[in-house]
Amino acid sequence: MLKFIGLGSAFNTKRANTSAYIRKEDSMILIDCGGTTFHRLVELKLLDGLKQLNIIITHTHPDHVGSLGDLVFYAYYVLNIIPKIHFPKADWMKTLLKYMGVKPDMFEMVNALEVSVPCEGIDFKKLRFIPVPHSSALPAFGFLYVIADKQYFYSGDSSGIPESVMNDLKSQKLEAIYQDTCGLDYDGNVHLSINKLCEIVPQELRKKVNCIHHDSFLDLDEVMALGFTVPEVE
């Protein structure tokens, strides 16, 4: 199961930037690394003793990569490890890190839509990125992954749920999904409102939908009353 160190959208500072992880012994898989994430990782001592680090990035908005440079520096200089960064647009990511002052030998770039994520002690495999609708200014991805022989979907930031993902959810191929959910509902919103989520997901499947990336207008009591799940934050 994913553990979350933040569940907020870019402007919801009370909930910190949305980021999740799996850690077992000295190996970690981290999903996104927004502006508040590195601070939270250090505060929670989640980097202590780490020997292997895989970072999955969904897109390059600041609330998803804002402290990625800090984390790579820390891994390189303090932990003495080379983190692997998984993102399907390698040139895009390398350029971003270059302008953060991160040298190419400080990280390993994994550029593939589908890849295994070898991480000792963590049964995480079959990572497959799926393009999702978000901002026209940059590429954004969700991804499917398998852990302990169960398949999940993580949306990243998205104004919808891919049809193939909904089909897998309805046919019981997915154990659960983690879906960007906000309170604001207006034409052109690049995030998925709780109102639209209710239209998309039938009542009987809502328990499998974990609402993440909350804006400050989202009523979490209402979200749970509607049958959806809200993950806990570390």
Superfamily (CATH) of domain 3-225 = Ribonuclease Z/Hydroxyacylglutathione hydrolase-like (3.60.15.10)
CA distance 89 to 81: 23
Which residues pair with residue 229 across a beta bridge?
Answer: 210
C-beta of residue 141 within 8 angstroms of C-beta of residue 157: no
Q: How confident is the model at residue 139 (pLDDT cuts 50, 70, 90)?
A: very high
C-beta of residue 140 within 8 angstroms of C-beta of residue 173: no
CA dihedral 11, 12, 17, 22 (to 10 degrees): -150
Q: How confident is the model at residue 103 (pLDDT cuts 50, 70, 90)?
A: very high
Residue showing tokens 């932990």: 79
Structure tokens at 143: 């991804």
**For the chain, what are the domain ranges?**
3-225
Position 228 scores a pLDDT of 98
Give the pTM: 0.97
Structure tokens at 184: 């604001």
**38-69: string of b/e by CB count within 10 Å (b at 16+)?**
bebbeeeebbeebebbbbbbbbbbebbbbbbb
Question: For 182-204, how does the pLDDT look when each residue is reduced to its tens digit (9 = 90+)?
Answer: 999 999 999 999 999 999 999 99
Q: What are residue 41's phi and psi, to 5 degrees?
A: -60, -45
CA distance 181 to 214: 6
